[in-house]
Amino acid sequence: MAVTPYRALLVVVSLAVLTGCASTSSQNASRDAGDPYFARDLPGLPGGWDPMMSPVDNPILEARRLGNPPPALVRQALLAQHERWEGTPYRLGGSSQHGVDCSALVQNVFAETFRLSLPRTTGEQAHEGRPVSRDELAPGDLVFFRPPGIYRHVGIYIGDGRFLHASSSRGVMISKLNNSYWRRYYWQARRALAPSHLAQRLLSDVDA
């Protein structure tokens, strides 16, 4: 069958579109591979986490079955929340997945995961529980920073020197405490509840 000029033009355009998509994917992969955030060595969650998932797929039940201690259970739950909130943009005053600020993220995670009500603002959260030294940090502790400007910043320590937070520049993500920026502006840490108590709340909610 003869190929008309119109059909030939369609073939050329289709190939150009396909080539463009492949090029964009390759560029994104290269960018992500070179970004320390995307290269973080965090354990994956089997199939993600959703409160409506069956017990077989729930990573919290799986962690308990393996006999993990409370800090490991708390860490697993916080990583599950990271999967849920990851990529949510930062918005001062926001409290949803359309946009959230740092203290609202902390408040939401504690309410949803541990059924623990925390104050709304960073200033109020900075007085919760008891202070803990940096070398005594455990998963679930609140970590506070005093960067330049009038606002304070808060995140949730997840272990291995990392914390979950809503970054004003990149939204909800996980960062390293020893990153030069966060190390410079580290302020204090507070323990609203010990990991054992957080784990009890977590497990009682799963069993309900």
| pLDDT tens over the chain, length 208 residues | 544 444 444 433 343 333 333 333 333 333 333 333 333 333 333 334 343 333 334 555 555 554 567 899 999 999 999 999 999 999 999 999 999 999 999 999 999 999 999 999 999 999 999 999 999 999 999 999 999 999 999 999 999 999 999 999 999 999 999 999 999 999 999 999 999 999 999 887 655 5
1-25 b/e with 16+ CB inside 10 Å = b? Answer: eeeeeeeeeeeeeeeeeeeeeeeee
Q: What is the CA radius of gyration of the chain?
A: 22
pTM: 0.70
Neighbours of 120 (CB within 10 A): 14
Instruction: Indicate which residue of 21, 82, 98, 165 is catalytic.
Output: 165
Per the DSSP assignment, residues forming a β-bridge with 166 are: 172
Whether 197 sits among the annotated catalytic residues: the reply is no
Q: What are the C-alpha distances in Å from 111 to residues 12, 91, 96, 107, 160?
A: 55, 20, 13, 6, 23
Instruction: Indicate which residue of 21, 82, 98, 153 is catalytic.
Output: 153
Instruction: Indicate which residue of 82, 102, 127, 197 is catalytic.
Output: 102
What pLDDT score does 203 carry? 83
Q: How far apart are CA 206 and CA 51, in angstroms?
A: 9
What pLDDT score does 173 carry? 97
| Six-digit token string for 34 | 């070179």
Whether 153 sits among the annotated catalytic residues: the reply is yes
What pLDDT score does 33 carry? 32
What pLDDT score does 22 carry? 31
What pLDDT score does 60 carry? 54
What pLDDT score does 65 carry? 52
Whether 165 sits among the annotated catalytic residues: the reply is yes
Q: How far apart are CA 187 and CA 10, in angstroms?
A: 61
